[in-house]
Structure 1
Amino acid sequence: MKLMKQKWIAALSAVVLSVTGLPVCSAAASGTAGDINLDGNLSISDAVLMQRYLLNTRNFTQEEWLAADMNEDKTVNAFDLSLLKHALLEKGIVFDAEDLLRNLVSRDVAGAEADDDFVLAQTDFALSLLQHTAENDQNTLISPYSVMQALAMTANGANGETKAEMETALGGLPLDELNEYLYTQRTSQPDSDSCKLLTANSIWYRDDAERLQVSQDFLQTNTDYYDAAAYSAPFDDSTVRDINSWIAKNTDYMIPKMIEELDPATVMCLINAVTFDAKWQSPYFENQISDGTFTAYDGSTQTVEMMYSDEYYYLEDENATGFYKYYEGGRYAFAALLPNEGITVTEYLDGLTPESLHETLASPERTSVITGLPKFSCDYGNSLNEALAAMGMPGAFEPTADFSNMADTASGLLYIGDVLHKTHIDVDENGTRAGAATVVMMEAGCAPIGHEVVLDRPFVYCIVDTETSLPVFMGTMLSMAE
């Protein structure tokens, strides 16, 4: 396969030379050609980075530029992009989506530092989302951060009552202010080997101009505040493959597959992907790990690997006790809250308010606390439609929703069909890895039907002279068997 790739690139390079007169030589043997993000693999992400460079929306480091120069002609241009796409095709990776960033140059926008209003609004959203998704008999894992990013992008296309409902459900802040807060939150996250929170956003829409006309202002706003790439795609099996590949890459493959198919009614997907990877500030040593017992919600007991340590930040409220265990750098910590005996997790969550939760998390007591934390891994996936509707935005899921700032549709309808959410977490002696993805599926249905008449039982019929409105034949149909 490698030899075939070298021969193909050499042949294409010869064509480039004959057309352009540029000196060309093969870079396939170097092992780095096309690996722009320097992760050791060719992927769709490399093609996206090259497209952004060519559209002047991203600069390259020297290493990235050298990797992008596929034909080693000392320049990076459309020929290199073509070579990269063909290299991806050889690997079985299809990149059918057309990046629309050619029309979108990211503008300088103002951010806003987190203050009490933002913190309380985000706590309100996070707690409410957990309260509306947690169940009595199964593990739950959500990323309010991921869901917020995806829904805020979606809200930028809403108008009127739909926009007002979404602002309420997202914590109550005006959308213009929320964009500024979320911009600063996203761009200020740590990104180091010991602790990183990486965020990626994208908007995919159906390549059907007769059916859908997307607002450039909507795309521009989400490019400015959320660095959202925009793709026009056929919304067939290749788009399903592209979207799943994009999500897998941007969750460090913790969410390998998000969607199975795209409904014919779906015209847009707004997607967020998040990767969290952090090492403990004080990792667990082998002698701190031993078998322990975990009692499940139904009273059954399970053997687990329990990690024991002395920590120094104790959490307590009237119904629970807990602790913080910090990750390297101190920007993030693992917080555990154990409801008191006789109080179920659901009962505990139901009794929390945004204010009480924030007070508990913001006021740890500096004291010694002996802790036991089980190693665990969890995958979770769910539709958030019912939860979000209950949180104050039911209208966004109705055909009467107003997303007129997002796009014009042939049917005149545009609404949220589904909000899909998937998460994964690994907690062990070294630290924590977690990934999350949120997909908002926008649908454009048919025009509403005012009345419906189905002749599925006996009926009367006529043949009418329309000038006089007189029947010229009349009859009844009582049975189709005669």
Structure 2
Amino acid sequence: MKKSIIKVLLLLGLVLSGCASPISIKSSNLMSGYKESKVDLIDISSQGDKFLSRKNEILDFSLKLFLESFEAENILLSPLSIVYALAMTGNGAKNQTLLEIEAVLNSDIQGLNDYLKAYSEYLPTSQKYQVSLANSIWFKDDPKLVIENSFLQINKDYYDASIYKSAFDNTTKVDINNWVKAKTNNLITELLKQAPSPQTIMYLINALSFEAEWEKIYRVDQVIQGDFFLETGGSQSVEFMTSSESIYLENDLATGVIKPYKDSKYALVAFLPKDNLSIQKLLLSLDYQMVLDLFENKQEAEVLFQLPKMSIEYSTLLNEPLQNLGISDAFEASQADFSRLGKFEGENIFISQIVHKTKLVVDEKGSKAGAVTAVVMDTTSVIIDRKEVILNRPFVYMIIDLQQELPLFMGVLMSLN
């Protein structure tokens, strides 16, 4: 059987400043042909079992993929971005291909559509922080390719996807890079280094942009020089931002901090392995139940917190981790069934690559020193209950939506080089 390629590209821009740029695109915009239909939104603020289960399912997938992708070096994933892109793609899958995607994502595809649509509408924004999701579908202008209107319509209805038809030449490369640049606030400027290959017939892209600031910008005297100790031995001289925090996490394996951004809609969460415990051993026990238990049993205490300034760029292919988790047919030219997406005359459509790019910058402006929930106690009690979380060796970190308890992204910092 001949083969044709669908590429799924997952984009994430994590930014602390900047404004969106206008998009210059020459590809045919088919938005006018697909008006968004009215979709009844579910109430994700509800605490019913159905909604709690959906959040837990996404958190479970997020941690499994994270652990499958970790290779003892810096890693930075956006689980939420990945879920959005896979769900969009899943709307074109059928039979065993669809069943595998649903099994790995822990959800039927319509349930995901409902939840992710509601989550997109729920996203809180203000002048103090901004989180935005953008989706697009690009397909080749070829008479042999027939795209199912129902596939485009459902992705328009539930994911507000922009839809473009293009010659898939160098102009397409420029257009996609311009779209990515605009949707990541100029943080990621080049996704495609060359024009699409002759076999490539579609790109599905999700971009997630996060911009936030700390409640109080760090003063010059709160930034100190120190050593970051590597698991392989040796150390690196880095700048640490020092603050007093008030939400402390601890279990038998780790200590940690929840450090909210302005208005406490989102937070940075950091887990530091306890002494003599490697980051690998901590990760082996890091499942969604452990994370939920840590959140459930958080303590109010005075915490001396030191966070290294960091700028992380990460790029990876997710094919192998997702195959290891159970999505196999989608990557097989002879097995993939994307017949709900469309068809290409004489050939079969399958996924060739799932590309994930991320960038994160954390500095004085994008940090928060907050004791807004500090417990009132006498001087002696404060001294006894004082905790320390000094991130001067490899640690796990997340940026989470505090209301939904969902990770927008998660990473491990092994080195600051």
Q: TM-score, normalised by structure 1?
A: 0.69
Aligned equivalents of 2:317 and 2:109: distance in 1?
A: 24
Aligned equivalents of 2:314 and 2:112: distance in 1?
A: 27
Residue in 2 that maps onto 1:56: none
**2:234 equivalent to 1:300:** yes
Residue in 2 that maps onto 1:154: 89
Q: Percent identity?
A: 35
Aligned equivalents of 1:40 and 1:265: distance in 2?
A: 32
**2:168 equivalent to 1:235:** yes
Aligned equivalents of 2:69 and 2:311: distance in 1?
A: 19
Q: After superposition, what is the alpha-carbon deviation per residue over 1:99-158, rounded to whole angstroms, capped at 9, x for unaligned?
A: 11222110111233342111111111110111011111x210000011111111000000
After superposition, where does 1:190-229 map in structure 2 within 5 Å? 190-210=124-144, 212-229=145-162
**2:42 equivalent to 1:112:** yes
**2:347 equivalent to 1:417:** no
After superposition, where does 1:121-200 map in structure 2 within 5 Å? 121-136=57-72, 138-170=73-105, 172-200=106-134
Change (3 A) 1:215 1:259: same
Q: Is the 8 A contact 2:20 2:182 kept in 1?
A: no
Q: CA RMSD in A?
A: 1.9
Aligned equivalents of 2:186 and 2:234: distance in 1?
A: 33
Change (3 A) 1:40 1:203: closer
Q: After superposition, what is the alpha-carbon deviation per residue over 1:243-284, rounded to whole angstroms, capped at 9, x for unaligned?
A: 111011101111111122322211100000111000112332
Aligned equivalents of 2:171 and 2:20: distance in 1?
A: 24
Change (3 A) 1:402 1:40: closer
Change (3 A) 1:40 1:279: closer
Aligned equivalents of 1:430 and 1:101: distance in 2?
A: 38
Q: After superposition, what is the alpha-carbon deviation per residue over 1:184-225, rounded to whole angstroms, capped at 9, x for unaligned?
A: 111211222211111110000000022x10111000000011
Change (3 A) 1:41 1:153: closer
Change (3 A) 1:362 1:230: farther
Change (3 A) 1:248 1:297: farther
AA at the equivalent of 2:183: N
Q: Is the 8 A contact 2:131 2:211 kept in 1?
A: yes
Match of 2:323 among 369, 389, 412: 389
Higher strand share: 2
Change (3 A) 1:118 1:99: same
AA at the equivalent of 1:147: I
Residue in 2 that maps onto 1:451: none
**Where has structure 1 moved over 4 Å in runs of 4 or more?**
39-42
Give the SS at the match of 1:149: helix
Match of 1:431 among 344, 366, 381: 366
Q: Is the 8 A contact 2:34 2:156 kept in 1?
A: yes
The offset of 1:346, in angstroms, is 2.2
Segments of 5+ residues of structure 1 without an aligned counterpart are 1-38, 45-94, 438-482
Match of 1:244 among 159, 172, 177: 177
Give the SS at the match of 1:305: strand
Give the SS at the match of 2:93: coil
**2:15 equivalent to 1:101:** no
Give the SS at the match of 1:378: strand
The offset of 1:230, in angstroms, is 0.5
The offset of 1:41, in angstroms, is 5.7
Match of 1:43 among 23, 38, 45: 23
Aligned equivalents of 2:101 and 2:279: distance in 1?
A: 28
Change (3 A) 1:41 1:218: closer
The offset of 1:311, in angstroms, is 0.2
Q: After superposition, what is the alpha-carbon deviation per residue over 1:381-408, rounded to whole angstroms, capped at 9, x for unaligned?
A: 0000001111121111011111110011
Residue in 1 that maps onto 2:391: none
Give the SS at the match of 1:287: helix
Aligned equivalents of 2:91 and 2:356: distance in 1?
A: 20
Q: After superposition, what is the alpha-carbon deviation per residue over 1:318-360, rounded to whole angstroms, capped at 9, x for unaligned?
A: 2110001110111100000001122222221121222112221
Q: Is the 8 A contact 1:247 1:255 kept in 2?
A: yes
Aligned equivalents of 2:20 and 2:327: distance in 1?
A: 43
Aligned equivalents of 1:423 and 1:41: distance in 2?
A: 19
Residue in 2 that maps onto 1:339: 273
Moved more, 257-266 or 242-251: 257-266
Q: Is the 8 A contact 2:21 2:182 kept in 1?
A: no
Aligned equivalents of 1:131 and 1:279: distance in 2?
A: 29
Residue in 2 that maps onto 1:65: none
Higher relative contact order (CA 8 A, sep 6+): 2
Q: Is the 8 A contact 2:254 2:272 kept in 1?
A: yes
Q: TM-score, normalised by structure 2?
A: 0.80
Give the SS at the match of 1:335: strand
Residue in 1 that maps onto 2:222: 288
Give the SS at the match of 2:264: coil
Aligned equivalents of 1:326 and 1:195: distance in 2?
A: 12
Residue in 1 that maps onto 2:377: none
Q: Is the 8 A contact 1:134 1:346 kept in 2?
A: no
After superposition, where does 1:310-321 map in structure 2 within 5 Å? 310-321=244-255
Aligned equivalents of 2:103 and 2:20: distance in 1?
A: 44
Segments of 5+ residues of structure 2 without an aligned counterpart are 1-18, 45-50, 368-398, 400-407, 410-417
Residue in 1 that maps onto 2:206: 272
Q: Is the 8 A contact 1:123 1:358 kept in 2?
A: no
Q: Is the 8 A contact 1:100 1:231 kept in 2?
A: yes
After superposition, where does 1:7-46 map in structure 2 within 5 Å? 42-44=22-24
Q: Looking at CA atoms only, which structure, 1 or 2, has the larger radius of gyration?
A: 1
Aligned equivalents of 2:249 and 2:147: distance in 1?
A: 48
